[in-house]
A and B are shown apart, each in its own frame.
Chain A
């Protein structure tokens, strides 16, 4: 009963490096999203997807790319890491509609030096 799995749990990058944060869910949820959590700023939506092949931007999309080739996977790519991207990143999924609760992974803690 894995739910939403995020890898890696921790990552340190140098400015300018790129990387991909992985997210996989085994609940056959159509909707997946990425949030970042910063102290004093709550959870902010980066990108989301309403199904395979469909993605859209959230509140803070700059510097991030996503794609959704399968229902299960929704990777988040950092193109050229910046210290402002130091944060905790959460992937979430839901079964459908705004009334469906979000199921979160346990996060990836990213530090950019």
Chain B
């Protein structure tokens, strides 16, 4: 069983829709939770970062972490065609030995249609 499972998609939504992207994990040592966005033929880039449980909002994007359920989500409000990309959840544990080492989900490809 993978440490991080991500809803596979693909997702196709109309412009303006609310999008929900989700990951579950099994390693209770994970404390740092990230969402990366990857455009076609590009490297992933950090979109959102959350430490431990709670919510974080940045413009149209909201990241939620529920450590008791080992479940994280990314919500995109008023989705735009420019949001079309693959979204990867990633997690890492405490400690310098884990620096530079994140465990990634498989990614969900989102298409927002005008």
Taking Cβ atoms with an 8 Å cutoff, the residues of A that contact B are 4, 30-33, 35, 40-45, 48-50, 58, 90, 92-94, 96-107
Which of B44, B46, B94, B105 makes the CB contact (< 8 A) with A98?
B94
- Indicate the member of B51, B97, B98, B99 with the most A CB atoms within 10 Å: B99
CB distance from B49 to the nearest CB of A (A): 6
In this complex, how many residues of chain B approach chain A with their Cβ under 8 Å: the count is 32
A40 touches B106 (CB 8 A): yes
Which of A42, A96, A105 makes the CB contact (< 8 A) with B105?
A42
Instruction: For the complex, give the distance between the alpha carbons of A49 and B100 in Å.
Output: 8
Identify the closest chain A residue to B94 (Cβ): A98
Identify the closest chain A residue to B89 (Cβ): A42
Q: A90-B43, A105-B43 are known contacts. Are A50 and B106 too (CB-CB below 8 A)?
A: no
Q: Does B41 contact A (CB under 8 A)?
A: yes
Chain A residue contacts of B97, Cβ below 8 A: 50
- Apart from A50-B99, A93-B100, A107-B43: 15 A-B pairs, beta carbons within 8 A: A4-B43, A31-B99, A33-B101, A40-B8, A41-B106, A42-B105, A42-B107, A48-B101, A50-B100, A98-B93, A98-B96, A101-B46, A102-B90, A102-B100, A107-B41
B101 touches A58 (CB 8 A): yes
Instruction: For the complex, give the distance between the alpha carbons of A4 and B100 in Å.
Output: 14
Q: Does B42 contact A (CB under 8 A)?
A: yes
Chain B residue contacts of A98, Cβ below 8 A: 31-32, 92-96, 98-99, 101-102
Chain A residue contacts of B106, Cβ below 8 A: 40-42
Instruction: For the complex, give the distance between the alpha carbons of A36 and B104 in Å.
Output: 11
